[in-house]
Chain A
Amino acid sequence: MKHRIGIGFVLAALCALTGISSAADQRPAASDNLPMVPAAKTGVFTATKKGADGYHLVVVGHKFSTRGDIEKYLAYRAAELTREQKASWFTFVESRSKGDTAPVPKRDPAGLRYSFRMEYFRPVWRYKTSGSPTWKSWSPFAGTVFITDDPKSITDFEVGADIDLHKGQMDDADPLAFETQAVSDLLINQVSPPE
C-alpha cells in the first residue's frame, strides 16, 4: 500500500515538473490579488430588517463624490447582503409618493429578460448643505433634476433603499429584479464606501 502511495507521489511530482496540467490548474491561485471593496467605517452602511424578507438599507456620508458612485456602492451592499442571507436575487422596492411623475418601470416591450437593470436601482436621497441644519430630500420618482446645490456644500447625505430578498428561479421579466452575483461582479471593481 505504502509502495503505491509512493508511486502516486512520484507521478504527481513528475506531472508537476513536466507541466502536465488540467483545466482546474487554469483556475486562479489563492495568491492572486482579488478585488476587494474597502471596509466601510462604522455607521456608513446599515441594514434594518423590514418584514419577512425585506431590508431597509442606508448609506451615509459627509463627502459627496458623485451620485453614481454612491448609488453603486449601495447596490453593491444590497447584493452582498442578499448573498450573506443565502438568497440569490432581490427586488428593489420603489419608494414612491403621491404626485410622483417618473414612469413606473414595465416589463421590456420586446420581451427581453435581464439579470439586472441598473437604471432601475433608484434610491432616495436626504442631504444637508453647509450652514443649514435642515435635511433636504430628493426622490428619483418626483420628476425633478438631481440635487442642484453645489456638491461641495453638501456636508451630510443619506441614500436609502428597500429591498426584498428571494431564493430560487429569478423573475427575470421584473424590471426591479437584480441577480445578486451578477450585480456584485459588475460593481466590485467600481465601488468604495463614501466618507
Chain B
Amino acid sequence: MVLKKRFALCLAVVALTSSTTLPATAAPWTRGFVVSDYQFAFRYGGRPDFTRGAEIEPGADCPHGSSNHFNSSNLDLIKNALARQKWRSQQEIDWISKPPGLDQVGEPAKVRNYIWRRALAYRGYKRGIETYTNPWAAEDPGQPEVTGRIAEGVNLDGKVGPNDFVSPDGEKGIDNALYRAWGCDAPWRGNSTFARAIKENMAFGLYTMVLRISGNQNPMNDNDATVEIGYSPDKIVKDARGGIAADYSYRILKSTQYTRLKAKIKNGVVETAQEKHLHMPRIAWVYQQTGDANLINGKMRLDIALDGSSGTGLIAGYKDWRDLYAEASFYYDAGSQDTTGHQDHVALYFALRRNADGMYNETTGQYDGISTAFRIRMYSAFVVDPDKPMEIPTVAGEQWRMNGTEANKAAFFKGIETRIPQDPPPGVTQTAAYPSLERVMQKLPSRDFFLTLDRPHWPVGVGVDQFGNPIDDQGDRIDSRGNKLDEQGNPLKLSQSQHQVGNGVPATVAPRQEQ
C-alpha cells in the first residue's frame, strides 16, 4: 500500500515535471554565432621553453622543428636551392647568395631579400620558367612534414586507413592530410603568423563568417537541427577590451558562400551531415584571398557552451589541393613569403600533391583533393536574414589586386594541366620582386649583373607596380602616353634620370663547370 502510494506520487511528479518542461524543450529555437578565430586545424606539439622560440622548435608533430627555408643566417640554404638549377653558374650562385657591394646600399637586408626573391622565382629545368606559377617545372626542394599520429579533424571517408590520424579524444580514422603536408610549415605552425593575421583582419572587417543553428527540440539535444554557415556583410563588433561583443546582429547572405546542413545535437555537440559542397568564406587575411572555401563532402562538429554564449568547432572536407596552393601563393609574391617566413612554395606544392587523398579523378588517375580541417571559435550573436536578398559586396579599389591574383591562378591551372610553362601575368603578385628590385638597388655596385637575372616581361603599360601603376619594361612608372614618371608619379626630368641602366661595364660571370 505504501509502495503503491509512493509510485502514484512519483507518477504525479513525473507528469507535473513533464507538463511544465516539455513545451519549452520542444519549441522552435535558434542560436546564432559570429566567428572570431578561423584557422587550419593544425595540432602543435612543441615545448614552450625551447630556446629557438615557440614557433620553430621541434615537437611531437615536427621532430625537426618548423620549416627553415631561406633562413638568411645560413647561406648554404639559399646556395643549395640555387644549385639545383644546373644552368646557373657558380658565380651566379655566389653573387645571389651574397650580393657584392651590399654594404654600400642603404637597406642591405632589403636589397638582398629582393635579389633572393628574383632568383627563387626562377627554379625551372631551364632558364626563363617562373616556378611559382609553374612549380611542377622545378625540382622538389623538400618540405618537413608532420610525423605525429595525433590530429584534429573528422573521419571524412568513414574508414580507418593506415595513414589516418587519431584524434586527441582517441577517435580513429581522422582525415587531415593537409596537416601532414603543411603542419610543419613555419608561418602555419603553433600560434602562427597566418592564424593571427586571419583573426586580426576578420576583426578589422575584411570579412565576417556567421553560423545559425536551429531546431525544434532543445539547443543541447536535437535530432533534427539545421546549421547554416555563411558570409555576413556586417563587420565584427568588438567590446571595450578588443574581444567580440556578444549578441550583436549580423546578416547572413544566402550567397555563393552559404550552406545549410542537416545536423544532430547531443549534449551540446552539433554534428552535421556531410554535404557534397560546403560553401563558406575561406580563410583570408587580404582582400584578394577572399572567396568560397568550397569543401567537398564537408561536415562540421561544433561544441556549444551550455549557456550558448560561445562555441568551438571543426569544419572539415576535401579541398582541391591546387586551389589551396593558388590561394596561398598568388595574393602577393610567393617569394616574399618564402624569404621572410621561411616557407618554400615550390616545396608546399609537391607536399600537397603527394599527400592528396580525396576527390579521385578517374580521367587522370590522381587525387584532386586533400582532406582538410578548419578550427573555429565563435561567440553568441543574432544571425538574421537581410531585408532583401543581396550579393557579397566587392571592394572596387581592391579589384585590380583580385584580378591579378585570379589571373595568376588561371595561369597556374593552365600550366599544371597542359604541362606547358605559363608566363606569370602582371598584377599584385609582384613576381620576382619586379619592379621593386629595380627601385631598391640603385646604388648597388653589382646592380647591372642582377638586372640580367630572369624576370617577367610585359608589354609597356600592361605591367604594373605594387600599387597598380603602369610600368614599362624597365620597371619605371609611365603615364598613359608612355612617358616616364618618377616614383611619385611626376613627369621625369631627363637630367635627373635615375632609372637608366648604368653606363659602366656590366659585370660578367664565368660559366659554372659542368657537373
Chain A positions within 8 Å of B, measured between CB atoms, are 23, 26-28, 32-35, 68, 83, 86, 88-89, 108, 110-118, 168-170, 172, 179, 181-182, 185-186, 188-190
Contact A189 B353 (CB under 8 A): no
A and B contact pairs by CB, cutoff 8 A, 14 listed: A26-B410, A28-B414, A34-B418, A34-B420, A83-B365, A86-B365, A111-B62, A113-B354, A115-B354, A172-B354, A179-B350, A186-B125, A186-B137, A186-B138
Please report the C-alpha to C-alpha distance between residue A71 and residue B162 in the assembled complex, in whole angstroms. 34
Contact A172 B145 (CB under 8 A): yes
Known A-B contacts A112-B144, A113-B145, A185-B137; A179 and B410 likewise in contact (beta carbons under 8 Å): no
User: CB of B163 within 8 A of chain A?
Assistant: yes
Contact B144 A113 (CB under 8 A): yes
B126 / chain A contacts, CB cutoff of 8 Å:
190
Q: Which residues of chain B (339-372) have a CB below 8 Å from chain A?
A: 347, 350-351, 353-355, 357, 364-366
A88 / chain B contacts, CB cutoff of 8 Å:
365-366
**Central interface residue in B62, B86, B140, B143, by most chain A CB within 10 Å:** B140
A27 / chain B contacts, CB cutoff of 8 Å:
413-414, 417
B139 / chain A contacts, CB cutoff of 8 Å:
116, 118, 186
CB distance from B451 to the nearest CB of A (A): 27
Contact A35 B420 (CB under 8 A): yes
Contact A116 B137 (CB under 8 A): no
**Which of A33, A34, A117, A179 contacts B354, CB < 8 Å?**
A179
Known A-B contacts A111-B63, A172-B354; A186 and B413 likewise in contact (beta carbons under 8 Å): no
User: CB of B64 within 8 A of chain A?
Assistant: yes
Please report the C-alpha to C-alpha distance between residue A102 and residue B233 in the assembled complex, in whole angstroms. 63
Known A-B contacts A179-B353, A186-B136; A111 and B420 likewise in contact (beta carbons under 8 Å): no
Known A-B contacts A116-B140, A117-B140; A28 and B418 likewise in contact (beta carbons under 8 Å): yes
User: CB of B419 within 8 A of chain A?
Assistant: yes
Contact A114 B350 (CB under 8 A): yes
Known A-B contacts A113-B144, A114-B142, A182-B140; A32 and B420 likewise in contact (beta carbons under 8 Å): yes
A26 / chain B contacts, CB cutoff of 8 Å:
410, 413-414
Please report the C-alpha to C-alpha distance between residue A118 and residue B85 in the assembled complex, in whole angstroms. 12
A189 / chain B contacts, CB cutoff of 8 Å:
125, 137, 419-421
Please report the C-alpha to C-alpha distance between residue A116 and residue B353 in the assembled complex, in whole angstroms. 12
A108 / chain B contacts, CB cutoff of 8 Å:
142
CB distance from B69 to the nearest CB of A (A): 10
Contact B162 A182 (CB under 8 A): no
Contact B419 A35 (CB under 8 A): yes
Contact A188 B419 (CB under 8 A): yes
A168 / chain B contacts, CB cutoff of 8 Å:
162-163
CB distance from B258 to the nearest CB of A (A): 18
Question: Is the interface on chain B under 10, 10 to 19, 20 to 34, or 35 or more residues?
Answer: 35 or more
Contact B419 A115 (CB under 8 A): no
Please report the C-alpha to C-alpha distance between residue A34 and residue B64 in the assembled complex, in whole angstroms. 41
Please report the C-alpha to C-alpha distance between residue A88 and residue B364 in the assembled complex, in whole angstroms. 11
Contact B64 A111 (CB under 8 A): yes
0/1 string, B380-421, CB within 8 A of A gives 1: 000000000000000000000000000000100110111111
CB distance from B158 to the nearest CB of A (A): 18
Q: Chain A binding site: helix, strand, loop or mixed by DSSP? A: loop
Residue of chain B at shortest CB distance from A108: B142
Known A-B contacts A28-B418, A86-B365, A182-B353; A115 and B140 likewise in contact (beta carbons under 8 Å): yes
Contact B410 A113 (CB under 8 A): no
Residue of chain A at shortest CB distance from B351: A113
**Which of B137, B144, B350, B365 contacts A115, CB < 8 Å?**
B350
Having A172-B354, A179-B354, one finds 8 other A-B pairs with CB under 8 Å, namely A27-B414, A111-B64, A112-B143, A113-B143, A115-B354, A186-B125, A189-B419, A189-B421
CB distance from B289 to the nearest CB of A (A): 16
Residue of chain B at shortest CB distance from A83: B365
**Which of A23, A33, A34, A182 contacts B350, CB < 8 Å?**
A182
0/1 string, B421-460, CB within 8 A of A gives 1: 1000000000000000000000000000000000000000
Residue of chain A at shortest CB distance from B163: A169
CB distance from A181 to the nearest CB of B (A): 6
Contact A111 B350 (CB under 8 A): no
Please report the C-alpha to C-alpha distance between residue A80 and residue B420 in the assembled complex, in whole angstroms. 18
Contact A112 B142 (CB under 8 A): yes
Residue of chain A at shortest CB distance from B142: A112
Please report the C-alpha to C-alpha distance between residue A82 and residue B182 in the assembled complex, in whole angstroms. 27
Contact A32 B418 (CB under 8 A): yes
A35 / chain B contacts, CB cutoff of 8 Å:
418-420
B419 / chain A contacts, CB cutoff of 8 Å:
34-35, 185, 188-189
Please report the C-alpha to C-alpha distance between residue A17 and residue B86 in the assembled complex, in whole angstroms. 48
Please report the C-alpha to C-alpha distance between residue A189 and residue B366 in the assembled complex, in whole angstroms. 20
Contact B354 A110 (CB under 8 A): no
A-B pairs with the 5 shortest C-beta distances? A112-B142, A111-B64, A185-B136, A115-B350, A26-B410
Please report the C-alpha to C-alpha distance between residue A118 and residue B63 in the assembled complex, in whole angstroms. 25
A186 / chain B contacts, CB cutoff of 8 Å:
125, 136-139
Residue of chain B at shortest CB distance from A113: B145
Please report the C-alpha to C-alpha distance between residue A26 and residue B408 in the assembled complex, in whole angstroms. 11
0/1 string, B139-154, CB within 8 A of A gives 1: 1111111010000000
Contact B417 A182 (CB under 8 A): no
CB distance from B70 to the nearest CB of A (A): 14
A169 / chain B contacts, CB cutoff of 8 Å:
162-163, 355, 357
Please report the C-alpha to C-alpha distance between residue A111 and residue B162 in the assembled complex, in whole angstroms. 21
Q: Which residues of chain B (15-41) have a CB below 8 Å from chain A?
A: none
CB distance from B318 to the nearest CB of A (A): 16
Please report the C-alpha to C-alpha distance between residue A190 and residue B357 in the assembled complex, in whole angstroms. 29
Residue of chain A at shortest CB distance from B65: A111
Please report the C-alpha to C-alpha distance between residue A69 and residue B443 in the assembled complex, in whole angstroms. 42
Known A-B contacts A108-B142, A113-B143; A170 and B354 likewise in contact (beta carbons under 8 Å): yes
Please report the C-alpha to C-alpha distance between residue A185 and residue B364 in the assembled complex, in whole angstroms. 13
Please report the C-alpha to C-alpha distance between residue A76 and residue B307 in the assembled complex, in whole angstroms. 61
Please report the C-alpha to C-alpha distance between residue A83 and residue B355 in the assembled complex, in whole angstroms. 17
CB distance from A83 to the nearest CB of B (A): 7
CB distance from A144 to the nearest CB of B (A): 16
